Amino acid sequence: MKLQMATRLGLYAALELARDPTRQLSATDLSERFAVSTNHLAKVLRELGRAGLVEAERGAGGGYRFCGNPRRTTLMDIVALFEESPGDRAAEPGDGTDVGRALGRVLAEVDEIAEATLRSVTLETLLKHAHRNRAR
């Protein structure tokens, strides 16, 4: 499954901040960690902020911190902020043919399985697995 760069950055940033919700990290800290431009990451952080998942503290020592619930926030909640929903896709040539409809059903099945997987993994679950992998 290919995710857009903004989606991957949204996931990285949310997960990194959710590791320790008391900790603040600047856009620069995070961009250096993921080797991406600060501008690009700042846009992603603003989107996470609009969704109520992170909040920005201004001033010296300020930065972003996670303010959502890691036990309730799923990967899909973040993916949905940046990726187009399958139901929002514009019609494409061939969709109305018998082959197009049959293909559409297969692709919808793939989308549904992918969504179920992303909805079933919370940030807390993923961080727990990441921690276990690091400990091995």
Partner 1 sequence: MAVEKRDRGGRPKSPRKPASVADGAREAAAIHLRDVATTDLPAIVDLDRRLTGEAKPAYWKAGVAPQADRFFLVAETMGGVFAGFAIGEIRAWEFGSPPVGWVFAIQVDPDRRQAGVGTALLEGLCARFRAAGVGLVRTMVNRRDHLILAFFRAQGMTAGPSLELEMELQP
Residues of this chain that interact with partner 1 (CB under 8 A) are: 74, 112-113, 116-117, 119-122, 124-125, 128-129
Least CB distance to partner 1 at residue 7 (A): 19
Residue with tokens 């960690």: 33
Judged by CB, which is closer to partner 1: 85, or 117? 117
Judged by CB, which is closer to partner 1: 32, or 109? 109
Q: Which letter, b or e, does each residue of 101-129 get, where b requires 16 or more Cβ atoms within 10 Å of its Cβ? A: eeebeeeeeeeeeeeeebeeebbeebbee
Least CB distance to partner 1 at residue 124 (A): 7
Judged by CB, which is closer to partner 1: 37, or 117? 117
Q: What is the Cα–Cα distance from 23 to 85, expressed in whole angstroms?
A: 32
